[in-house]
C-alpha cells in the first residue's frame, strides 16, 4: 500500500522557470514531510522539510507547501537551474509509528538550459 505517491514520474522545465513537484499522501497521521534530491548512483540528499503545524517552509530557491486538508505536498524550485536536474523523492513520517519514513516513487526533473 503506497501511502506516499508521486504521480508524475518525470518533469521538464526551462532554465530560469519554476519547477513544481507534487506529492500526495493518504495517512492523516503523517506529521513530518521531507523532500530529497537524488543523483544517479548516489544516495538521496535531504533538501527541505516541513512540520504539519506549518503550511509553508522556504529555504533559498526551494519552498515546500503543505495542504493538510487535501493531503498534498509540493516543492517549488525558483528559478530552476540545470544542476537541479535529478530525481526528487517526497517522504513522510507519522510520529506515532516513530521510526518509519515512507517514500514516494520519485519524480525525475530535467532542467533544460
Partner 1 sequence: SQTIHQWPATLVQPVGSPLSLECTVEGTSNPNLYWYRQAAGRGLQLLFYSVGIGQISSEVPQNLSASRPQDRQFILSSKKLLLSDSGFYLCAWSVQPNSNQPQHFGDGTRLSIL
Residues binding partner 1: what is the number (CB under 8 A)? 24
Binding mask 1-40 for partner 1 (x = CB under 8 A): -----x-------------------------x-x-x----
> Contact with partner 1 (CB under 8 A): which of 14, 16, 18, 46?
46
DSSP letter string, the chain: --SEE---SEEEEETTS-EEEEEEE--TT--EEEEEEE-TTS--EEEEEEETT-SEEEETTEEEEEETTTTEEEEEESS--GGG-EEEEEEEE-TTT-S-EEE---EEEEEE-
Residues at the contact surface with partner 1, assessed by CB under 8 A:
6, 32, 34, 36, 41-46, 49, 51, 89, 91, 95, 98-106
Amino acid at each position: 500500500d503506497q501511502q506516499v505517491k508521486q504521480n508524475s514520474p518525470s518533469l521538464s522545465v526551462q532554465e530560469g522557470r519554476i519547477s513544481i513537484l507534487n506529492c500526495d499522501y493518504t495517512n492523516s497521521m503523517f506529521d513530518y514531510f521531507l523532500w530529497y534530491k537524488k543523483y544517479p548512483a548516489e544516495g538521496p540528499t535531504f533538501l527541505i522539510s516541513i512540520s504539519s503545524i506549518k503550511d509553508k517552509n522556504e529555504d533559498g530557491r526551494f519552498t515546500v507547501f503543505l495542504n493538510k486538508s487535501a493531503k498534498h505536498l509540493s516543492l517549488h524550485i525558483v528559478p530552476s537551474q540545470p544542476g537541479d536536474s535529478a530525481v526528487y523523492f517526497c517522504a513522510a513520517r507519522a510520529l506515532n509509528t516513530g521510526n518509519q519514513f515512507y517514500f514516494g516513487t520519485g519524480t525525475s526533473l530535467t532542467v533544460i538550459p
